[in-house]
């Protein structure tokens, strides 16, 4: 962190703690320069950064003042889905979201795409170029159904950070995390079975269940602590649940990290009812805390946890390189992979393995965590500034996704249709529910570039939300009662 960034963080903390109050004049550039022993230009850069985040505003000939801001929105409350197995819907809406990915003129505010513009990805391009120049025919051929041995060794080494003790033989390489989840579900379930899922949860998991003829039971989920263990226990007692699918670290879409004690309790519950746990850890390495949070798999002593992940969110989704540590279900997972895609593309596996072996992966992860955390702070300011009052916003602890809950009468599906005229698209909340709940919610991606174009899009989205709320006769509290 540079000197000006360090100073900006210090001032930001003082503002958040109320040491500098709303509308209060900040110390002059010269005063801060003397107080912190830095140059005037360093202070000016720090103030400019805070101005970009809309924490302060300049006034000609008067200096800088703390911006008058709306109060921080509360986090969403514990969700309350219908707790019975349901047939999964929403495929048409998911297909519409996927089909618009390649619409170059549409800004995907709700996509699950990571930032691919960072310089720490340059070594990956060079590695792929060198591999192409060598013209190694082995990289155009099939490899083991398990995956390239060099990559499996690197993945096993990486999982040590999450508390696991795995070997290369414990890992199966897949075509992205989506296939890892798919083969895991097929390995433990049959058509007609029931699986418990967080609510809301990743729409890809929902559609996999739909395609396999498996019913889902949505379990209430807290935006801070994760899936309700009490509700899950009740569901286990009422229904023959085969498995639980969870995203406990940097959850998609709520962003929470499940406390370790609750991870242990979830595992104990699965052991008690002899159910499998399918753990999606695709965002776990993007947690802002250090060391990164442990996985449930690291606590697993009897092989009932199938740990799924990929390099789609940490490196690039186009690589299509994922993996699963299937535990006791290894043979079944290998069979499901064989009848699905067979072996995974060879060359991308070698490229990722080399990227990690040469020491590029760690620095890239550290940079992306910093970028996403900084982006989150800016996006939060934008949402607070441009959105109307009466909303709830999740507090992600990593990754690049945030969840916004609007008043219950709000229809985000209709809003998304109206946003097309602005060339903007969000991910509507109903995609993340088996039964189409959460039509009043949005998922936003704050991994997008922080620039005027993105800020303008957030401003347009906020204005559209406010207009739609007025059209629905949804009342909001007066702005004056919501200032800090």
> Model confidence over 171-182: pLDDT tens digits?
999 999 999 999
> Which pLDDT belongs to residue 435?
84
Q: Give the pLDDT confidence score for residue 247 in this predicted structure.
A: 98
The number of CA neighbours under 13 Å toward the Cβ of 5 is 5
211 phi and psi, to 5 degrees? -65, -25
pLDDT of residue 309: 98
In angstroms, the CA 449 to CA 371 distance is: 10
**Which residues is 441 bridged to in the sheet?**
405
Q: What is the mean pLDDT of residues 298-314?
A: 98
pTM for the whole thing? 0.86
> Helices 346-357 and 149-158 meet at what angle, rounded to 10?
50
User: What pLDDT does 70 receive?
Assistant: 66
Instruction: Name which of 185-199, 333-347, 357-371, 376-390 the model is least confident about.
Output: 376-390
Q: What would the pLDDT profile of 111-156 be if each residue is shown by its tens digit?
A: 999 999 999 999 999 999 999 998 888 888 999 999 999 999 999 9
Q: What are the distances in angstroms from CA 76 to CA 79, 396, 397, 463? A: 8, 12, 15, 21
pLDDT at residue 92 in the model: 75
Output the pLDDT for position 472: 76
Mean pLDDT of 360-389: 93
Percent of the chain with pLDDT over 70: 96
pLDDT confidence tier of residue 481, bands split at 50, 70 and 90: very low
The Cα–Cα gap between 479 and 149 comes to: 59
Average pLDDT, the chain: 92
Instruction: Give mean pLDDT, residues 175-198.
Output: 97
12: pLDDT strictly greater than 50 = yes
Tell me which residue has tokens 């993996």. Answer: 323
pLDDT surpasses 60 at 372 = yes
Q: Which helix (H) or strand (E) holds 243?
A: strand 241-246
DSSP classification of residue 79: P
What's the confidence (pLDDT) of residue 475?
A: 62
Mean pLDDT, rounded, for 410-419: 92
Predicted local distance difference test score (pLDDT) of residue 101:
66
- Answer whether residue 248 shows pLDDT above 50: yes
How many angstroms separate the CA atoms of 109 and 125, rounded? 27
Report the alpha-carbon distance of residue 196 to residue 78 in Å, rounded: 17
482 pLDDT more than 50: no
> Quick check: 478 pLDDT over 60?
no
pLDDT more than 90, % of the chain? 75
C-alpha–C-alpha distance, residues 456 and 275, integer Å: 47
Helix (H), strand (E) counts: the chain = 15, 16
Q: Where are the alpha helices (DSSP H) in 17-74?
A: 29-36, 40-52
pLDDT, one tens digit per residue, over 455-475 is: 999 999 999 999 998 887 676
**Distance, CA of 60 to CA of 272 (rounded, Å):** 67
pLDDT value at position 112? 92
Q: Does residue 453 surpass a pLDDT of 90? A: yes
Q: How far is CA 147 from CA 275, 307, 335, 347, in A?
A: 27, 16, 14, 11
pLDDT for 480 beyond 60 = no
pLDDT, tens digit, for every residue of 14-31?
887 778 888 889 999 999
- The answer to whether 297 and 267 have CB atoms below 8 angstroms apart is no
pLDDT tens for residues 38-83?
999 999 999 998 988 778 889 888 899 998 766 778 999 999 887 7
């Amino acid at each position: 962190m540079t000197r000006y960034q360090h100073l900006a963080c210090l001032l930001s903390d003082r503002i958040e703690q109320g040491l500098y109050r709303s509308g209060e004049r900040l110390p002059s550039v010269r005063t801060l320069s003397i107080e912190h022993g830095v140059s005037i230009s360093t202070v000016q850069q720090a103030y400019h950064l805070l101005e970009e985040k809309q924490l302060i505003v300049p006034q000609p000939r008067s200096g800088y003042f703390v911006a008058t801001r709306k109060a921080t929105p509360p986090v969403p409350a514990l969700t309350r889905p219908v707790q019975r197995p349901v047939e999964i819907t929403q495929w048409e809406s998911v297909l519409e979201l996927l089909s618009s990915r390649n619409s170059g003129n549409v800004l995907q505010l709700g996509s699950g795409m990571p930032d691919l513009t960072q310089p720490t990805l340059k070594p990956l391009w060079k590695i792929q170029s060198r591999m192409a120049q060598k013209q190694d025919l082995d990289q155009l051929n099939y490899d083991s159904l398990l995956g390239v041995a060099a990559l499996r060794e690197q993945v096993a080494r990486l999982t040590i950070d999450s508390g696991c003790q795995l070997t290369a033989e414990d890992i199966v390489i897949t075509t992205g995390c989506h296939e890892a989840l798919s083969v895991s579900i097929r390995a433990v379930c049959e058509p007609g079975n029931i699986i418990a899922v967080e609510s809301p949860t990743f729409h890809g998991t929902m559609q996999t269940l739909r395609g396999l003829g498996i019913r889902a039971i949505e379990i209430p989920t807290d935006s801070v602590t994760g899936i309700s263990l009490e509700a899950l226990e009740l569901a286990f007692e009422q229904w023959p649940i085969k498995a639980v699918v969870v995203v406990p670290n940097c959850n998609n879409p709520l962003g929470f990290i499940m406390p370790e004690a609750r991870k242990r309790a979830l595992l104990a519950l699965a052991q008690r009812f002899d159910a499998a746990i399918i753990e999606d850890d695709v965002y776990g390495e993007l947690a802002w805390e250090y060391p990164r949070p442990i996985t449930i798999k690291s606590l697993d002593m009897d092989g009932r946890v199938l740990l799924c992940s990929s390099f789609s969110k940490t490196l690039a989704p186009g690589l299509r390189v994922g993996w699963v540590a299937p535990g006791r279900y290894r043979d079944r997972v290998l069979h499901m992979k064989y009848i699905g895609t067979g072996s995974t593309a060879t060359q991308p596996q070698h490229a990722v393995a080399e990227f990690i072996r040469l020491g590029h992966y760690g620095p890239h992860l550290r940079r992306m965590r910093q970028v996403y955390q900084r982006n989150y702070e800016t996006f939060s300011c934008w949402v607070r500034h441009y959105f109307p009052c009466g909303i709830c916003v999740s507090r992600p602890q990593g990754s690049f996704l945030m969840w916004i809950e609007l008043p219950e009468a709000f229809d985000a599906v209709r809003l998304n249709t109206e946003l097309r005229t602005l060339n903007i698209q969000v991910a509507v909340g109903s995609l993340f529910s088996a039964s189409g709940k959460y039509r009043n919610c949005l998922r936003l991606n704050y991994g997008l570039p922080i620039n005027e174009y993105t800020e303008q899009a957030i401003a347009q989205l906020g204005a559209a939300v406010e207009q739609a709320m007025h059209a629905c006769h949804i009342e909001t509290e007066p702005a004056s009662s919501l200032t800090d």
